[in-house]
A and B are shown apart, each in its own frame.
Chain A
Amino acid sequence: GDSVTQMEGPVTLSEEAFLTINCTYTATGYPSLFWYVQYPGEGLQLLLKATKADDKGSNKGFEATYRKETTSFHLEKGSVQVSDSAVYFCALKTNAGKSTFGDGTTLTVKP
């Protein structure tokens, strides 16, 4: 079946550090890929998405590229801020409309 594997957390960084959260997936066909962010006490919000191979999703300084050859969708940000502290979820959605989520990675950014 479909699956999403995320880098285990928690991840702790200093402000302005470079962030990478790895995500790989297994799915039949060509899924759409997403990163969601969950701030404390809130639901998940879409951070960025990519719908086909080599697409790059970007938002708020975060980027991720849909790599079909490595079945990956790693999340990156060049300079993190304290306000980026949250839980990040990688997810896929198949053409049949079913969504599968990774286990989430908790990011803490210290000033």
Chain B
Amino acid sequence: EPEVTQTPSHQVTQMGQEVILRCVPISNHLYFYWYRQILGQKVEFLVSFYNNEISEKSEIFDDQFSVERPDGSNFTLKIRSTKLEDSAMYFCASRDRVAGNTIYFGEGSWLTVV
């Protein structure tokens, strides 16, 4: 069964450093997302991306965050200058046009900022 894959599975970074989280969405999907879950909290929407542009973003997704689809397969989340409170599990997700709003998630990238 096709799946969303994410790398790295775990990254430790120093505060202030830039981090890039990578995702390969399901191949025929057109809509891409990043969500995150801080330990002990619920899963939160960050951003949605369609047709090479951001279609919606949350208040969390400030100027420190950016997304990119540099080629036909990868979808990346960049955090320019990480803060301690960015420590979370980051989930990439995707969906196709036909499946309604059923979104399929990757395994997650656990980011620890120290």
> Do A and B share a complex?
no
Q: Which residues of B contact A (CB under 8 A)?
A: none
Q: Which residues of A contact B (CB under 8 A)?
A: none
